[in-house]
Chain A
């Protein structure tokens, strides 16, 4: 059994991490869920609980932010799978997403465009364009090949353009990767 000192160390380090990183994880989850606030919060809570459970391993790995991002992405994918398990007939009626940006229309348009993407495509967009991860790291997190990341990225950008234009013209320096 772990000693009280070890437990206290785990708690202290975990609280420091959450204080520093929770908001960033919520933002990432908000994009993954395309603005579904309750789902985003659930994902973050799931991620942080897993992180606490595995904190000794997380500490040894020395990259808690990377661990949390990977765990959050996996939680998102897993949740999509569970949604598939209990999926009934899909509906186009979705909860109005919450945004906190001054330009709410623009934010809503982007979140609505993200909703048109398949979960894996959305994850690629978030990892590549929001977190600025390279193709190899994105592939590692998603457990797929770099070629799949590139093709999913290209398809996602096409879909985003279709959803956003002509009102919003999209540009990126990661067009083919």
Chain B
């Protein structure tokens, strides 16, 4: 018999090895500098964008949105894609979901994902996700900022070029997390996307993604 802990100890490799801590220190310092530069830039951008808040607020009021929840990108009309008007739910494979954005279409679906992209999008491969809205199902622990909506806890991560929002599936649905990811350049608000994800239903045919 082999003890699992002992096997893992062997597989993990040597317990001693040369360490170059200064390489990590250099990476850390660079990251800190980038963070501080970004914060300064955001501070300046905040002053610059204050003048266009009126325009954005008008649009948000029309949609019943929340000004405070809007991402900075959504104040840039040139990159904004209108969100979908109310309408009947759509179904693709084991996923049922609210209407998708205007000018977007379902590219394809698998048991793990539904891929949605702008009409005529250059990348027509449904299993290639950059620049697209993707509904997925997996069994990984969610991470990100917690947002409460309709009695459920959503985990929001809008830190990169691609935003991700995840929520635990409902009782009666396959156990795990259902999520959406989308490019932040669309300017879609977190409120809109949380509402969209809250409307996603997962049927038993769904399979968790490998990730």
The answer, yes or no, to whether B4 is at the interface (CB within 8 Å) is yes
Of the 9-residue stretches B6-14, B62-70, B89-97, B187-195, which lies at the interface with chain A? B6-14
Across the interface, name the chain B residue whose C-beta is closest to A106. Answer: B10
Contact with B along A25-56 (1 / 0, CB 8 A): 01110110001000000000100110111000
Let me know if A11 is at the binding interface, CB within 8 A.
Answer: yes
For B35, what are the chain A residues with a Cβ–Cβ distance below 8 Å? 53
- Set of chain B residues within 8 Å of A144, measured between Cβ atoms: 141
Contact in complex: B211, A23 (CB < 8 Å): no
Q: Are A81 and B164 in contact (CB-based, < 8 A)? A: yes
Determine the distance from Cα of A106 to Cα of B143 in the docked complex, in whole angstroms. 35
CB of A171 closer than 8 Å to a CB of B:
yes
Minimum CB–CB distance from A157 to chain B (whole Å) comes to: 8
Instruction: Contact check, A87 vs B211: say whether CB atoms are below 8 A apart.
Output: yes
Q: Which residues of A contact B209 (CB under 8 A)?
A: 84, 87
Chain A, interface size category, equals 35 or more
Q: Are A45 and B128 in contact (CB under 8 A)?
A: no
A31 and B8 form a contact (CB under 8 A) = yes
B11 touches A87 (CB 8 A): no
Indicate which residue in B5, B11, B28 contacts A52 across the interface (CB closer than 8 Å): B28
Whether the Cβ atoms of B8 and A22 lie closer than 8 Å is no
- CB proximity to A under 8 Å, residues B1-33: 1-5, 7-17, 19, 21-22, 24-25, 27-29, 31-32
0 or 1 for each of B158-171: is its CB under 8 Å from A? (1 = yes): 00001010000000
CB atoms of B2 and A18 under 8 A apart: no
Report whether A120 and B12 are in contact in the complex, using a CB–CB cutoff of 8 Å: no
When distances are taken between beta carbons in the complex, the residues of chain B under 8 Å from A143 are 141-143
- Contact across chains for A86 and B130 when beta carbons are under 8 A apart: yes
Segment at the interface with A among B41-49, B101-109, B132-140: B132-140
What is the chain A residue whose CB lies nearest that of B7?
A110
Q: In the complex, which residue of chain A has the Cβ closest to the Cβ of B34?
A: A53
In the bound complex, residues from chain B placing their C-beta under 8 Å from that of A53 are 28, 31-32, 35
What residues of A have a CB within 8 angstroms of the CB of B4 in the complex?
125, 129, 157, 160, 170-172
Question: Shortest beta-carbon distance, A93 to chain B, in Å?
Answer: 15
Do A35 and B211 contact each other (CB < 8 Å), given the known contacts A48-B27, A160-B4, A172-B4? no
Hey, which chain A residues are within 8 Å of B143, CB to CB? Answer: 74, 77-78, 143
Contact B3 A19 (CB under 8 A): no
Question: Which residues of B have CB within 8 Å of A106?
Answer: 7, 10-11
Question: Which residue from A30, A49, A118 sits with its C-beta under 8 Å from B28?
Answer: A49
A4 within 8 A of partner (CB): no
- Interface check A136, CB cutoff 8 A: no
Q: Which residues in chain A, 69-85, are within 8 Å of chain B measured between CB atoms?
A: 74, 77-78, 80-85
Q: In the complex the two chains form, is B141's CB within 8 Å of A77's CB?
A: yes
Contacting residues, chain B, for A23 (C-beta < 8 A): 14-17, 19
Q: List 23 A-B contacts (CB under 8 A).
A: A15-B22, A19-B21, A22-B21, A22-B24, A31-B11, A49-B31, A53-B31, A77-B140, A82-B211, A83-B211, A84-B210, A87-B210, A88-B128, A110-B11, A118-B210, A129-B5, A143-B143, A168-B2, A168-B7, A170-B1, A171-B2, A171-B3, A172-B5
| A-to-B contact residues, CB < 8 Å | 11, 14-15, 18-19, 22-24, 26-28, 30-31, 35, 45, 48-49, 51-53, 74, 77-78, 80-90, 99-101, 103, 106-107, 110-111, 114, 118-120, 125-126, 129-130, 132, 142-144, 157, 160, 168-172
Which 5 A/B pairs are nearest by Cβ-Cβ distance? Answer: A52-B28, A84-B211, A27-B12, A18-B21, A110-B11
